[in-house]
Amino acid sequence: MKIQKLLLTIVLLSFILTKADAENGYDLWLRYAPVPDSSLCNDYSKKIGNVVVYGQTETALVIREEMEKALSGLLNKPVDISDKEETNCGLAVYTSVDFPDINDSEEKMLIENLGDEGYLIYDSKKLNKIIVASKSDIGALYGTFYFLRLLQTNQAIDGIRIEEKPKTTHRLLNHWDNLDRTVERGYAGFSIWDWHKLPDFIDKRYIDYARANASIGINGTVVSNVNANALILTTQYLNKLAALANALRPYGIKVYLTARFSAPVETGGLPTADPLTDDVIEWWNAKVKEIYTLIPDFGGFLVKANSEGQPGPQNYNRTHADGANMLAKALAPFGGVVMWRAFVYDHNVPDDRAKQAYNEFKPLDGDFLENVFIQVKNGPIDFQPREPFHPLFGAMPKTPLMMEFQITQEYTGCATHLVYLAPMYKECLDSDTYSKGKGSTVAKVIDGSFEGHKYSGMAGVSNIGTDINWTGHPFAQANWYAFGRLAWNTDLTSEQIADEWLRQTFTNDQNFIDIVKPIMLSSREMMVDYMTPLGLHHIMARNHHWGPGPWVTGGRPDWTSVYYHRADTLGIGFDRSSTGSKAVDQYFPQVKEEFDNLVACPEELLLWFHHVPWDYKMRSGNILWDELCHHYYSGAAEANAMPEKWKSVEGLIDEERYEHVLQLLNIQAKEAVWWRNACLLYFQQFSKRPIPTKYEQPDKPLEYYQNLNFRYVPGIKN
């Protein structure tokens, strides 16, 4: 036995040393690096001692494995993890309602009230141990990860008491992954789902994917693209999906599918997909029964219908409610849900694209069944660097609305720009809709508490791929992490999330934190400045959306840049005021009043809601043109300063990731200048004003930027 323990110690030490020497980002925020402070490490060791994890479920086994991996790394020594009480046990994880050692009825009642996913962590003086307890094994897993996060971020654990439960019931990643393993808007390699080898080969990456998601409370994954392929619903692929579901289940993650509305025609041989036709209803009922036979805890369907050419109920003169409810009825007996996307627009509708989702869905409030979400993007256009919150939030009180954020950086620099998106998410979540009076934030709308909805949720469009570090840019991992943490608890701040992510992912060295956290927190505003300041939007290059393209025209108007910025010799901006497209009318009166008034409108959204003269006096005292120049130049200047700031952390983290980030920051600095020069030279044609002489003048003419042509940009099919 002594020899075995010695060998185990040698193996673990070897593993720890190898990890310290080579860091490539694969471990994400679950590195479990040794606690650097020896005194703190000793305190942890004494407090924790041996560990008992009660239960024999698959999830209980997963908790034991995670505890062993984490504590042996953090404490730099083997730790005994058992399924029954042992001497010197300082940490106990309870994975059911039995709680053999908890005698306090008040504690038991609290645990019950925290629900299936909630947990209680407390330092029990009676039992002389730290307790992690939940009503379910999945809740205990979430509690385990929370406790390990405390250790990773070097927090005190003496006397701790944590009561947690999620704000939302459905916390999902939406993969835009195709069956051929390409990823729409993916900047981190190919899809991690290897359909060719499933169901017989379960890649270890699936398990590590599940661990990472469970650690931040994500409980579902939509594995297929919203631009759906009906083949995913065939028996061949459902068998593959069942194997994937089996791998993810112990981590509390349900699988979901995108449902192509025309599947009954494409794979079922029916002449129609009309949702009110008996044969179509029967086909979907049979398909859902087949799915649940293979995957008893299947989550449900995500549907993109009648948008960007995708088929839907409107093809048959039916409503969105007709289509969604047909699927919802099939899923309801099994506990499944329908997530029906509100991202709809039609270039044949001669109105403001920003209004179309509201116009189509607001009249249907109350028509949807209980197990139907309307999944709404954070803003009314399309994941722009900055948008006002979507007017549907608060406008459909009878219908649960699921938030849809984009984690992948389609419009925010792909995977070459360091852009921390938590401030963007928080800006939307904290916005006041006034739907129930002051304080009716978007976060309170989507958590279902206002109307007592049974279901609530948040979805994030994934940025995950086969790159060794999962997300392409090492700092893009922070956006996956931030999404999960905010889906669990919308009250968290961007600062809190950045701090805990940095400490787990890189180091607890305060010098590093003090330098890098401000970079993260300012990066989103910096990006807005050098891309789309003052409410400009959708001025990216055509198709791939990488780089500037304010000159894009031709084809359907709502796929051009000129449709959105409307620059002319008089001014710039889209007039959505009460004298323009009247998009402001879709907001509640208090919000409308602010957005509608040129003087009161927040300047960061000015050109979103107003067409503003070039010589309009801004609050800074600058005229609009000079203010636009100021933002573009300050954003590019900040981007150019980032590499030097990053260089000051050399030696504080591993060399591999340090060099990787440095090279990407240099790319970002160069591309920020490209954005600045291209946009200002283009808009200068209309303003007829010079770029102030205090700024470095563009060294190339506008035609140079307009003639740049890029092929094989990641994220689109070429």
pLDDT at 15: 42
**Over the stretch 469-504, which tens digit does the pLDDT of each residue have?**
999 999 999 999 999 999 999 999 999 999 999 999
Beta strand pairing call for 81-82 and 50-53 = parallel
Average pLDDT over residues 637-665: 98
Hey, what are 649's tokens? 């952390």
- Same domain as 284, residue 250: yes
- Same domain as 34, residue 13: yes
Q: Looking at 137, 352, 360, 382, which residue is catalytic?
A: 382
pLDDT at 247: 98
- Same domain as 444, residue 356: yes
pLDDT at 5: 42
Average pLDDT over residues 205-215: 98
Alpha-carbon distance of 146 to 163, in angstroms, equals 11
In a domain, 715, yes or no: no
pLDDT at 517: 98
- Same domain as 150, residue 215: no
CB atoms within 10 A of CB 349: 14
- Same domain as 277, residue 202: yes
**Over the stretch 494-546, which tens digit does the pLDDT of each residue have?**
999 999 999 999 999 999 999 999 999 999 999 999 999 999 999 999 999 99
Average pLDDT over residues 229-240: 98
Q: Looking at 308, 514, 615, 644, which residue is catalytic?
A: 308
> pLDDT exceeding 90 applies to what percent of the chain?
90
Residue 14: pLDDT band with limits 50, 70, 90: very low
Given a cut of 60, whether residue 31 has pLDDT beyond it is: yes
- CB distance 259 to 327 below 8 Å: yes
pLDDT at 99: 66
Beta strand pairing call for 170-174 and 457-461 = parallel
Alpha-carbon distance of 191 to 184, in angstroms, equals 10
CATH code for position 679: 3.90.1330.10
Total tally of structural domains belonging to the chain: 3
Average pLDDT over residues 339-349: 89
- Same domain as 345, residue 309: yes
In a domain, 717, yes or no: no
Alpha-carbon distance of 473 to 187, in angstroms, equals 9
**Whether pTM exceeds 0.85:** yes
pLDDT at 127: 87
In a domain, 509, yes or no: no
> pLDDT exceeding 70 applies to what percent of the chain?
96
pLDDT at 19: 42
pLDDT at 632: 98
- CB distance 508 to 153 below 8 Å: yes
Q: By C-alpha distance, which of 235, 228, 192 is closest to 212?
A: 192
Given a cut of 60, whether residue 171 has pLDDT beyond it is: yes
Given a cut of 60, whether residue 462 has pLDDT beyond it is: yes
CB atoms within 10 A of CB 621: 8
In a domain, 514, yes or no: no
- Same domain as 567, residue 432: no
Tell which of 164, 191, 209 closes a domain.
164
Average pLDDT over residues 323-352: 93
- 656 in active site: no
Average pLDDT along the chain:
94
In a domain, 591, yes or no: no
Alpha-carbon distance of 407 to 188, in angstroms, equals 12
- Same domain as 210, residue 321: yes
pLDDT at 375: 98
- Same domain as 188, residue 91: no
CATH code for position 142: 3.30.379.10
**Over the stretch 191-208, which tens digit does the pLDDT of each residue have?**
999 999 999 999 999 999
- Same domain as 104, residue 206: no
- 410 in active site: yes
- Which domain does 193 fall in, by range? 170-501
Q: How far apart are the first and last CA of the chain?
A: 60
In a domain, 508, yes or no: no
pLDDT at 152: 98
In a domain, 56, yes or no: yes
- Same domain as 187, residue 156: no
Which is more confident, 126 or 213? Answer: 213
Cross-strand pairs, 441:
432
Largest alpha-carbon pair distance within the chain? 84
Where in 175-276 does DSSP place strands (E)?
220-222, 254-258
Tell which of 127, 146, 164 closes a domain.
164
602 preceded by a cis bond (ω within 30 of 0): no
- 346 in active site: no
pLDDT at 346: 79
Tell which of 129, 145, 164 closes a domain.
164
- Same domain as 403, residue 337: yes
Alpha-carbon distance of 657 to 652, in angstroms, equals 11
Q: Looking at 66, 177, 410, 627, which residue is catalytic?
A: 410
Residue 103: pLDDT band with limits 50, 70, 90: low
Hey, what are 646's tokens? 């990053």
Which is more confident, 350 or 413? Answer: 413
In a domain, 583, yes or no: no
- CB distance 174 to 462 below 8 Å: yes
**Over the stretch 393-403, which tens digit does the pLDDT of each residue have?**
999 999 999 99
Where in 456-592 does DSSP place strands (E)?
457-461, 571-572
Element (H, E) at 369: none
Alpha-carbon distance of 478 to 485, in angstroms, equals 10
CATH code for position 230: 3.20.20.80
| Residue the block writes with tokens 């942890």 | 44
Q: If you write DSSP's letter for every residue of 403-437 in order, what string do you get?
A: EEEE-S-TTTTTTTS----HHHHHHHHT-B--BTB
pLDDT at 95: 85
